[in-house]
Amino acid sequence: MTGLAVSPTVIRQAAPALWQDYFQLMKPRVMSLVVFTGLTGLICAHRPMHPFLAMVAILCIAVGAGASASLNMWFDADIDARMRRTRGRPVPSGKVQGADALGLGITLSLFSVGLMGMAVNWLAAFLLAFTILFYAVVYTMWLKRSTPQNIVIGGLAGALPPAIGWAAAAGSTPLNAWLMVLIIFMWTPPHFWALSLYTSEDYGAAGVPMMPVVKGPKSTRLQILIYSLLFVPVAILPAFTGLGGHAYLAIAAGGGLVFLVLAWRLFKSRAGEQISDARTDDGLYGVKADARAARNMFAFSILYLFSLFAALLAEHAFRWSPA
């Protein structure tokens, strides 16, 4: 190697920023999942709501999620530059200045919370503001760099959108709304730890104390199994609280069984113990043979959560009545 080896935190100069680069700051893929769970909460509330105001509420949730993602990209640029999965993001790749990401995040936060409060209601606006602050300040600036429990506690931010949606429609958040929050909250640790088992080299290089880096792969696999055993009953619970129907019960129980089987297989595997990088490309799904159990768990966890909320959405959408 020659002098090409430079500090990975050096932000490269790149071509002038396109509007698409600013859009990428908002993590559109994460935003789409947040919109989906927020919409499910809004529909499950079963309150008459003007369709335009429902659309504004969902837009505010989407923009709020984009705002917190932009703040995350600003603060985490040094970490992102060291990781294969994230080094192509707009700030570490030099397409967008960090200060611009910060400005976009603050502006969109103010717009989304203000519009939610004035157009929909202030409970939904408060929950949205809390979610943005929790993700940007508590998770990004504090937990992520300081504890292996970062994604456990920080997962609350990603779990709150159904409660925001419910609050937007009903002006209140009953237990069933918090049950949806609890489902995503309990789902987060096995989901992210499965991913971090085959990306731990990245996290280690970046100095992020993810569970496999701090406690090792064996402890992580055990904790994934324990969280999975706690999560699946929680996922089935809505079928007994009036939130989910028969279709939901079938999907939650059937999918939950597969979830537990995959968690057991992951526990028995040697995923995370490979010395070299477990991935075969820069994406999330191409992995070597010994990391497949972790990859399978990660991929199925997304499908399972999506199926749970799709079932709730389908069961309630037919009963929803616009104002």
Task: Give me the residues that bind another protein (CB under 8 A), please.
Answer: 15-19, 22, 50, 52-53, 56, 59, 111, 115, 118-119
In angstroms, what CA-CA distances link 214 with 43, 146, 148, 190, 293? Answer: 41, 11, 7, 16, 21
Please state the φ and ψ torsions of residue 245, each to the nearest 5 degrees.
-105, -155
Q: How far is the CB of 119 from another protein (least distance, A)?
A: 4
Residues whose CB falls within 8 Å of the CB of residue 136, separated by 6 or more in sequence, listed in order? 68, 71, 72, 75, 105
Q: Which is nearer to another protein, 12 or 50 (CB)?
A: 50
- Tokens for 128, please give them: 């949205």
List, in sequence order, every residue forming a beta bridge with 322; answer none if it has no partner.
49
Q: How far is the CB of 16 from another protein (least distance, A)?
A: 4
Q: Which is nearer to another protein, 66 or 256 (CB)?
A: 66
Q: How far is the CB of 18 from another protein (least distance, A)?
A: 5
Residues whose CB falls within 8 Å of the CB of residue 126, separated by 6 or more in sequence, listed in order? none
Reported as half-sphere exposure (CB side, CA atoms, 13 A), residue 64 has a value of 33
Q: Which is nearer to another protein, 55 or 253 (CB)?
A: 55
Q: How far is the CB of 118 from another protein (least distance, A)?
A: 8
Q: How far is the CB of 51 from another protein (least distance, A)?
A: 9
Q: Which is nearer to another protein, 22 or 126 (CB)?
A: 22
Rounded distance between C-alpha atoms, residue 138 and residue 274, angstroms: 32
Q: Which is nearer to another protein, 106 or 205 (CB)?
A: 106
**CB atoms < 10 A from the CB of 115, how many?**
18
Residue 49, classed as helix, strand or coil, is strand
Q: Which is nearer to another protein, 110 or 303 (CB)?
A: 110
DSSP 8-state assignment for residue 12: P
Distance of CA 240 to the CA centre of its chain: 26
Q: Which is nearer to another protein, 91 or 182 (CB)?
A: 91
Q: How far is the CB of 41 from another protein (least distance, A)?
A: 20
Q: How far is the CB of 19 from another protein (least distance, A)?
A: 4
Q: Helices 161-170 and 51-75: crossing angle, nearest 10°?
A: 150
Q: Which is nearer to another protein, 59 or 141 (CB)?
A: 59
Rounded distance between C-alpha atoms, residue 234 and residue 292, angstroms: 26
Cα–Cα–Cα angle for 204, 139, 144, rounded to 5 degrees = 15
CB 67 within 8 A of CB 132: yes
- Tokens for 295, please give them: 């990859």
